[in-house]
């Protein structure tokens, strides 16, 4: 394993990967449209000797490298960017604009760190290909589309086919997050929340603003519903159960003297327990329907699921293996963390195939900035993932993520292998 980790610190490799990272950062692509990024990754690993399959689940890429008898280790990275403008001031900042699924022109930015994820996996793929004497088994690298819309993993699984690729024995993934750069944090069991996003359309009856008695006002209906929905977490969920419900959009009407026909609420909820999740989804429907009935609406609300992410619940035994390897490699820079209220579709692979998986975090915040924020108790002011100012420092984030991925993979691939 030492040869793999030594290769991860080579200056010429890090220079190459830094250039790749900046290139991907400057050319972000929206979910399920990652054509350029997928080609970049596929061409790169194909040149290293991987068996490459393209367009798996629309734009996904699967690379397989066979190296004798041993376990099948799957390494995954997500590729998509967000529909938002970047405001980091970096010399390699994105200026890309594109049309979203609704045909609206938006800025596009890698404000969640998926550009770093792709770079890590490309680097790990190269080191494993060039140091086959250090490990045995099968490495399967997966570049996944559409994580931000919760469709990428499921689309790849649906397109996987029976026997098309080896079934993994372990699935490994990582994510850059706010945290001191150079650190690695892990957790057995639940590490990321389940996430559900809904669009709720409330139907009223439009009229002139001067004649409200002839209307059923959906604005009042939506306002009352919004306030009442906030009581689910505060009054119906135990304070010992973590949950979040956020109304991210409330849309109605076009002019101040027109009472519109309908109103739309878009909400997002995060939960860490399946029973709590089920209860909250039921409570949302109950409250929305009750408020519409209280307003004398002529028909019930319309519910549309925008996205749904399952819990990311690390296999306990496999996490212990990874954690032990991390502690050996990173010493005090590796530690156990609390669950995060972010959500991922990474676990869909393991859940679908009944395969253990482990997911962990890499700190991407400048060490001095992070330590100052800790001293001032202002960690929440550090621009986080999905902020237009989110900007992981390249070093040592790049080499740390590369080392972490190789360390975790080696815990399976290098068993009994001399170095």
In a domain, 419, yes or no: no
Shared domain for 289 and 353, answered yes or no, is: no
The larger pLDDT score, comparing residue 161 to residue 129, is at 129
Residue 237 lies in a domain: yes
Residue 418: pLDDT band with limits 50, 70, 90: low
Report pLDDT digits (tens) over 270-289: 999 999 999 999 999 999 99
Report the 10 Å Cβ neighbour count for 367: 15
pLDDT for 410 equals 97
Whether pLDDT at 383 is above 70: yes
pLDDT digits (tens, 9 = 90+) for 41-85: 999 999 999 999 999 999 999 999 999 999 999 999 999 999 999
Are 108 and 29 in contact by the 8 Å Cβ rule? The answer is yes
* pLDDT at position 415 over 90: no
Q: What is the pLDDT of residue 282?
A: 98
Contact, 344 vs 310, CB < 8 A? no
148 is catalytic: yes
**Is the same domain home to 139 and 283?**
no
Domain C-terminal end among 308, 336, 371: 308
Both 177 and 282 in a single domain?
A: no
Residues of the chain with pLDDT > 90, as a percent, come to: 95
In this structure, the answer to whether residues 359 and 213 fall within a common structural domain is: no
Place 101 in a pLDDT band, splitting at 50, 70 and 90. confident
Looking at the structure of the chain, the number of domains it has is 2
CATH of the domain at 390: 3.40.630.10
Residue 418 lies in a domain: no
Residue 23 sits in the same domain as residue 159:
yes
List the one residue out of 49, 27, 48, 45 whose CA is nearest residue 37. 27
Q: What is the pLDDT of residue 417?
A: 63
Q: How confident is the model at residue 8 (pLDDT cuts 50, 70, 90)?
A: confident
pLDDT band at 1 (very low <50, low <70, confident <90, very high): confident
* Mean pLDDT along residues 78-98: 98
Q: Are residues 303 and 322 in the same domain?
A: no
Residues 371, 399, single domain; the answer is yes
Q: Say which residue the tokens 């954690």 belong to.
A: 323
Phi, psi (5° rounding) for residue 102?
Answer: -95, 5
> With 80 as the cut, is the pLDDT of residue 137 above it?
yes
Span 179-220, pLDDT tens digits: 999 999 999 999 999 999 999 999 999 999 999 999 999 999
Range of the domain at 102: 2-191+311-413
DSSP state of 141: E
List the strands of the sheet with 60-67, edge to edge.
Answer: 51-56, 60-67, 137-144, 72-78, 170-180, 357-365, 184-186, 334-336
Q: What is the mean pLDDT of residues 363-387?
A: 97
CB-based contact 62:108 (threshold 8 Å): no
What number is the average pLDDT over the span 123-150? 97
Q: 364 and 286 share a domain?
A: no
Do 82 and 102 touch, CB atoms closer than 8 A? no
pTM above 0.75, yes or no: yes
The Cα diameter of the chain in Å comes to 84
Region 91-115: what's the mean pLDDT?
96
Alpha helices in 59-149 (DSSP H): 114-130
CA–CA gap between residue 63 and residue 49 (Å, rounded): 9
CA distance 63 to 126: 12
pLDDT digits (tens, 9 = 90+) for 297-314: 999 999 999 999 999 999
pLDDT of 416 > 70? The answer is: no
Is the domain of 100 the same as that of 149? yes
Residue from 28, 250, 260 nearest 148 by CA: 28
Mean pLDDT over the full length of the chain? 96
Q: For residue 396, is the peptide bond before it cis, meaning its omega torsion is within 30 degrees of 0?
A: yes
Find the catalytic residue in 115, 147, 148, 217.
148
Q: Are residues 343 and 263 in the same domain?
A: no
pLDDT at 9: 84
Residues 132 and 170 in one domain: yes
Q: What tens digit of pLDDT does each residue of 312-369 get?
A: 999 999 999 999 999 999 999 999 999 999 999 999 999 999 999 999 999 999 999 9
Name the catalytic one among 33, 78, 262, 315.
Answer: 78
| Domain final position from 247, 276, 308 | 308
- Report CA-CA distances (Å) from 138 to 147, 235, 320, 323: 25, 51, 22, 22
Residues 178 and 108 grouped into a single domain: yes
From 250, 280, 308, give the residue that closes a domain: 308
Reported confidence tier of residue 3, pLDDT bands at 50, 70, 90: confident
């Amino acid at each position: 394993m030492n040869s793999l980790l030594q290769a991860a610190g080579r200056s010429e490799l890090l220079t190459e990967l830094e250039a790749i990272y900046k290139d991907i950062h400057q050319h972000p692509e929206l979910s399920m449209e990652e054509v350029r990024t997928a080609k970049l990754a596929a061409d790169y690993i194909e040149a290293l000797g991987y068996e490459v399959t393209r367009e798996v689940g629309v734009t996904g890429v699967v690379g397989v490298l066979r190296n004798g008898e041993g376990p099948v280790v799957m390494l995954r990275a997500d590729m998509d960017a967000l529909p938002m403008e970047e405001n980091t001031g970096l010399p390699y900042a994105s200026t890309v604009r594109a049309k979203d699924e609704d045909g609206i022109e938006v800025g596009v930015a890698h404000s969640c760190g998926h550009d770093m994820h792709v770079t890590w996996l490309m680097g790990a793929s190269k080191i494993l290909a060039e140091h086959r004497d250090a490990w045995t088994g099968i490495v399967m690298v997966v570049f996944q589309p559409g994580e931000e819309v919760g469709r990428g993993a499921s689309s790849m699984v649906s397109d996987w086919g029976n026997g098309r690729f080896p079934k993994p024995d372990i699935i490994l993934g990582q994510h850059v997050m706010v945290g001191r750069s150079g650190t690695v944090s892990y957790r057995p069991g639940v590490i990321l929340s389940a996430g559900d996003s809904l669009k709720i359309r409330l139907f009223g009856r439009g009229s002139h603003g001067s004649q409200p008695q002839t209307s059923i006002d959906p604005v009042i209906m939506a306002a009352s519903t919004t306030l009442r929905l906030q009581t689910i977490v505060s009054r119906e969920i135990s304070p010992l159960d973590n949950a979040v419900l956020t109304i991210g959009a409330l849309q109605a009407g076009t002019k101040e003297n027109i009472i519109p026909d309908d109103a739309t609420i878009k909400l997002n909820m995060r939960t860490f327990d399946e029973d709590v999740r089920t209860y909250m989804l039921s409570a949302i429907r109950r409250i929305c329907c009750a408020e519409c009935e209280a307003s004398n609406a002529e028909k019930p609300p319309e519910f549309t699921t925008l996205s749904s992410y399952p819990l990311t619940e690390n296999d306990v035994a496999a996490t212990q293996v990874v954690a032990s390897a991390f502690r050996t490699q990173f010493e005090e820079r590796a530690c156990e963390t609390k669950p995060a209220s972010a959500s991922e579709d990474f676990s869909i692979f393991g859940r679908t195939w009944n395969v253990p998986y482990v997911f962990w975090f890499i700190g991407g915040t400048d060490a001095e900035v992070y330590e100052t924020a800790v001293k001032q108790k202002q960690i929440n002011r550090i621009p986080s993932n999905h902020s237009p100012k989110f900007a992981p420092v390249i070093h040592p984030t790049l080499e740390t993520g590369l080392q972490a991925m190789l360390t975790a993979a080696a815990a399976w691939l290098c068993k009994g292998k001399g170095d």
